[in-house]
């Protein structure tokens, strides 16, 4: 599939998912128990299963399970980045090649500019609760990245002419995450737990592809950091999660972080990341809730450098990574109540930027979408 087709496919999927679930509504209407009849995430025999028993699908590790319970999940995420910015300001490819220094020497300014990037990620997760106070979680990812570029002539002139464009691609398994969620507090309204995770460096940091260089040749080189599939480091993933619910309203917040444990084999480490999210959801009926969520994060630039990455492009410069971003998400959770779809959860979330302050020039994220399925056993 081309990138354009894939984007269309994602957009087409959303209404299709809504339509596919619409027949559930009348079927459930006859069967809807009185309000307050149940608050169980997994449900008993015919007890209602609450759609808002889980947080919006883009939040990870936000719920725990009862002792002995399993859950399997699949999430698909698409992220679309178009155009560049330095700090909070948009910047054109022409401005980048004429003004941003090339840290690798000649020519004096950059000559290759990324214009668009898409990332598609398939996330497969499993959860298991050995006790009521501990839930274990594991997740593997399969990632597909594509980046479009423009290449300008390497001539040492103030206004280098455009000589062409090219697209690079990388695909494969990303890093693997394992974590433990430990209960801190629980009453009839409020719940809180610790998230203690570790990211294992299973994703490649040595992906290669052909590029068009300013001299006109098309060598096969190691791709810049943004196109690699993993961090190459063991990362600690500490966090804390709070959720609450009264009547048809539920809400929550989560702090998350990614702390790199040393440098990877190629000589660098991604910047540490600290994120905070908060959401509010309303349950229209047991089977459906909708949510609004804010998600902000800050990440340092890359420290160290991979000596095999040295083209006159912004993505080859470790300083042009990280920044601060705030996104708004709109989503829905749906859960089947009867028959073969009972207990199957379907959810989606769409994110749009509110604030982006990037260590740039850097590609800016314009929107993303996450679609997911979950089932507890
Ligand atoms: Cu779960």
CA of 270 relative to ligand 1 center, distance in Å: 29
**b/e sequence 43-71, b meaning 16+ C-beta within 10 Å:** beeeebbbbbbbbbbbbbbbbbbeeebeb
pLDDT band, very low/low/confident/very high, at 4 (cuts 50, 70, 90): very low
Count Cβ atoms below 10 Å from residue 367 Cβ, excluding itself.
15
Give residue 22 CA to ligand 1 midpoint distance, Å: 24
**Residue 268 Cα, ligand 1 centroid: separation in angstroms?**
34
Ligand 1 centroid – CA 202 distance (Å) = 23
Higher pLDDT, 39 or 321: 321
Q: Is the pLDDT of residue 38 over 80?
A: no
Q: What angle do CA 39, 275, 58 make, to 5 degrees?
A: 45
pLDDT at 158: 87
Give me the chain's average pLDDT, please: 90
| Strand segments (E) across the chain | 70-87, 89-91, 112-131, 134-152, 162-173, 176-186, 190-200, 208-210, 220-222, 235-246, 249-260, 268-269, 273-285, 288-299, 303-304, 323-335, 344-376
| Residue 236 Cα to ligand 1 middle (Å) | 21
21: three-class secondary structure by DSSP: helix
Ligand 1 mean position, distance from CA 302 (Å): 33
Q: How many angstroms separate the alpha carbon of residue 288 from the centre of ligand 1?
A: 17
Give the pLDDT confidence of 61-87 residue by residue, as tens digits.
999 999 999 999 999 999 999 999 999
CA of 76 to the centre of ligand 1 (A): 16
Per-residue pLDDT, averaged over 265-274, amounts to 98
Stretch 116-123: mean pLDDT? 98
Centre of ligand 1 from the C-alpha of residue 127, in Å: 5
Q: Tokens 């081309």 label which residue?
A: 2
Q: How far is the CA of 125 from the centre of ligand 1 (A)?
A: 9
CA of 64 to the centre of ligand 1 (A): 6
Q: How far is the CA of 73 from the centre of ligand 1 (A)?
A: 8
CA of 196 to the centre of ligand 1 (A): 15
Tell me, in angstroms, the distance from the centre of ligand 1 to residue 39's CA. Answer: 15
How many angstroms separate the alpha carbon of residue 136 from the centre of ligand 1?
A: 9
Q: How far, in Å, from the CA of 18 to the mean position of ligand 1? A: 22
Write the DSSP assignment of 56-99 as a string of letters: -TTS-S-----TT-EEEEEEEEEEEEEEEEEETEEE-HHHHHHH
Contact 201, 174 (CB under 8 A): no
What is the distance in A from the centroid of ligand 1 to the CA of 135?
8
User: What does the pLDDT read at residue 124?
Assistant: 98
pLDDT over 80 at 205, yes or no: yes
Nearest to 192 by CA among 69, 55, 64, 295: 64
pLDDT reading at 255 higher than 90: yes
The alpha carbons of the chain give a radius of gyration, in whole angstroms, of: 23
Cis peptide before 107 (omega within 30 of 0): yes
Domain layout of the chain by residue ranges: 3-376
State pTM to two decimals.
Answer: 0.86
pLDDT surpassing 50 at residue 342: yes
Whether the Cβ atoms of residue 359 and residue 321 lie closer than 8 Å to each other: yes
How many angstroms separate the alpha carbon of residue 60 from the centre of ligand 1?
9
Report the 3 state secondary structure along 41-58. Answer: CCCCCCCCCCHHHCCCCC
Task: Kindly report the backbone phi and psi dihedral angles of residue 242, in degrees, each rounded to the nearest multiple of 5, phi listed first.
Answer: -125, 135
What separation in Å is there between the alpha carbon of 179 and the centre of ligand 1?
12
Whole-angstrom distance, CA of residue 45 vs CA of residue 347: 23
Distance 336 CA to ligand 1 centre (A): 16
Closest listed residue to residue 161, CA positions, set 150, 152, 151: 152
Mean predicted confidence (pLDDT) in 250-258: 98
Q: What is the mean pLDDT of residues 277-282?
A: 98
Distance 376 CA to ligand 1 centre (A): 7
- Superfamily the domain 3-376 falls into: monomeric porin ompg (2.40.160.40)
Ranking 41-45, 191-195, 221-225, 335-339 by mean pLDDT, the lowest is 41-45
**Range of lowest pLDDT (101-110, 168-177, 246-255, 319-328):** 101-110
Averaged over 124-153, what is the pLDDT? 98
Q: Residue 45: its pLDDT value, please? A: 57
| Integer Cα distance of 16 and 346 in angstroms | 12
């Amino acid at each position: 599939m081309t990138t354009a087709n894939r984007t269309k496919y994602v957009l087409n999927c959303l209404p299709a998912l809504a339509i596919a679930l619409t027949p559930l509504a009348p079927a459930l209407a006859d069967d809807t128990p009185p309000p307050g009849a149940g608050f169980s995430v997994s449900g008993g025999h015919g007890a209602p299963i609450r759609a808002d028993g889980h947080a919006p699908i883009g939040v990870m590790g936000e719920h725990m399970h009862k002792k002995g319970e399993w859950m399997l999940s699949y999430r698909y995420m698409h992220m679309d980045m178009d155009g560049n910015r330095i700090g909070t300001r948009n910047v054109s490819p022409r401005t980048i090649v004429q003004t941003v220094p090339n840290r690798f020497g000649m020519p004096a300014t950059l000559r290759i500019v990324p214009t668009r990037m898409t990332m598609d990620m398939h996330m497969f997760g499993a959860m298991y609760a050995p006790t009521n106070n501990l839930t274990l979680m594991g997740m593997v990812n399969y990632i597909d990245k594509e980046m479009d570029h423009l290449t300008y002539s390497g001539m040492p002139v103030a206004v280098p002419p455009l000589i062409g464009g090219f697209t690079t691609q990388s695909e494969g398994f990303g890093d693997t995450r394992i974590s433990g969620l430990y209960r801190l507090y629980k009453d009839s309204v409020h719940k809180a737990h610790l998230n203690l995770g570790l990211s294992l460096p299973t994703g490649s940091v040595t992906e290669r592809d052909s590029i068009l260089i300013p001299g006109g040749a098309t060598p096969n080189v190691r791709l810049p950091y943004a196109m690699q599939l993993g961090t190459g480091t063991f990362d600690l993933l500490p966090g804390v999660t709070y959720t609450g619910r009264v009547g048809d309203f539920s809400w929550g917040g989560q702090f998350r972080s990614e702390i790199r444990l040393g440098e990877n084999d190629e000589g660098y480490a991604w910047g540490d990341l600290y994120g905070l999210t908060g959401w509010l959801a309303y349950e229209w009926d047991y089977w459906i809730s909708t949510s609004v969520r804010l998600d902000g994060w800050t990440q340092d630039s890359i420290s160290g450098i991979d000596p095999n990455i040295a083209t006159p492009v912004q993505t080859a410069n470790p300083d042009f990574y990280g920044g601060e971003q705030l996104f708004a998400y709109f989503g829905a959770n749906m859960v089947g109540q009867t028959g073969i779809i009972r207990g199957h959860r379907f959810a989606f979330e769409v994110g749009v930027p509110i604030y982006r302050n990037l260590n740039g020039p850097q590609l800016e994220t314009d929107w993303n979408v996450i679609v997911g399925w979950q089932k507890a056993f």
